[in-house]
Amino acid sequence: MTGRPNGGHAHDAIVAEELHRTYGRAPTAVHALRGVSLTVPRGRLTVVQGASGSGKTTLLNLLGGLDAPDSGRILLDGVDVCGLDENGLVALRRERIGFVFQTFGLIPILTAAENVGLPLRLRRAPVGERDERVAQLLALVGLSDHARQRPDELSGGQQQRVAIARAVANRPQLIIADEPTGRLDAETALGVMELLRAIVTAENVTALISTHDPRLLDFADEVLHLRDGRLHS
Ligand code: ADP
Ligand code: MG
């Protein structure tokens, strides 16, 4: 699972080698990642667990092509992310990855259905296909009856369900979710993890999810423990 230094296998969705990321410079530099190597197997749910400040967001941002490491290597489905230019990164993020964030990130003036359909609209999917996929996704996340409500008319848990539906709308190979339950109460958090678990199966997708909450580890196929910028098994 971790520390396979010579790269992973063809079935690995992500292979990362010796990732380092430092913010700022001496004497106030923060070493957020201090040599992280990992593999994320395809079609499974992998959880990165670590306390606040352990480097979870930094790691997920690097793996999703939202930020670049100071050194190290990242392969997403065999593609060397660090070798891509900005256009390549934009295309990678849009076509292959669905992001879910702690703060949901929905567009406030759009309804639940419109938020879910946005990625399909951006790639100019035909309206009929879009409507069908949106209806399917709203049903999958249990919000068919809330399609026309705006984010401020939905609970936190419902908003995160909309965000998850939106993240998988374009059938990405990978879901990256950074503390998706961080703003939710304990019971709602369990429901959202159950949903992510179900989506990995229903959509045949790989998921990489960070949390500081050890109670959510039961949902994982694989667990990576991050502490002070290093992985511990
Ligand atoms: P986590 O998501 O586990 O809370 P982060 O990856 O956000 O951890 O942060 C890891 C460390 O890097 C922390 O010490 C944090 O304060 C620091 N850090 C994160 N982002 C920045 C930044 N943009 N500038 C400076 N320090 C940062
Ligand atoms: Mg974080």
pLDDT of residue 213: 92
- Which residues lie closer than 8 Å to 226 by C-beta, 6 or more apart? 36, 48, 49, 50, 54, 55, 56, 59, 232
> How many C-beta atoms lie closer than 10 Å to residue 29's C-beta?
10
| Listed residue (75, 36, 64, 92) closest to 175, CA to CA | 64
- The best mutation among 21, 23, 231 to test binding of ligand 1, ranked by most ligand atoms within 8 Å of the C-beta, falls on 23
Helix (H, G, I), strand (E, B) or coil at 231: strand
139 within 8 A of 62, measured Cβ to Cβ = no
Q: From its phi and psi, is residue 2 left (phi > 0), alpha (psi between -120 and 50) or beta?
A: beta
Q: Is the CB of 56 under 6 A from ligand 1?
A: yes
pLDDT of residue 233: 75
User: Length of the chain in residues, anyone?
Assistant: 233
pLDDT of residue 3: 42
Tell me the CA–centroid distance for residue 30 and ligand 1, in Å.
8
Q: Is the CB of 32 under 6 A from ligand 1?
A: yes
- Which residues lie closer than 8 Å to 131 by C-beta, 6 or more apart? 117
Q: Is the CB of 49 under 6 A from ligand 1?
A: no
Reduce the secondary structure of 75-141 to three states and give it as a string. Answer: EECCEEHHHCCHHHHHHHHHHHEEEEECCCCCCCCCCHHHHHHHHHHHCCCCHHHHHHHHHHHHHHC
Does the global pTM surpass 0.75? Answer: yes
Place of tokens 């995160």: 160
Tell me the CA–centroid distance for residue 55 and ligand 1, in Å.
6
pLDDT of residue 10: 64
Tell me the CA–centroid distance for residue 191 and ligand 2, in Å.
21
Ligand with an atom nearest the CA of residue 101: 2
Tell me the CA–centroid distance for residue 23 and ligand 1, in Å.
8
Tell me the CA–centroid distance for residue 83 and ligand 2, in Å.
25
Q: Is the CB of 60 under 6 A from ligand 1?
A: no
DSSP code, position 217: G
Cα gap 125→129, rounded to integer Å? 7
Please give the structure tokens belonging to residue 83: 């070798």
Ligand with an atom nearest the CA of residue 227: 1
Residue pLDDT tens, the chain, 233 long = 444 444 556 679 999 999 999 999 989 999 999 999 999 999 999 999 999 999 999 999 999 999 999 999 999 998 999 999 999 999 999 889 999 999 999 999 999 999 999 999 998 999 999 999 999 999 999 999 999 999 999 999 999 999 999 999 999 999 999 999 999 999 999 999 999 999 999 888 999 999 999 989 999 999 999 999 999 97
Cα gap 86→12, rounded to integer Å? 24
Ligand with an atom nearest the CA of residue 182: 2
Q: Is the CB of 54 under 6 A from ligand 1?
A: yes
| Listed residue (212, 170, 179, 48) closest to 104, CA to CA | 179
Domain extents in the chain: 42-67+91-232
Q: From its phi and psi, is residue 176 left (phi > 0), alpha (psi between -120 and 50) or beta?
A: beta
When the candidates are 3.90.180.10, 3.10.20.740, 3.20.20.70, 3.40.50.300, the CATH number that belongs to 42-67+91-232 is: 3.40.50.300
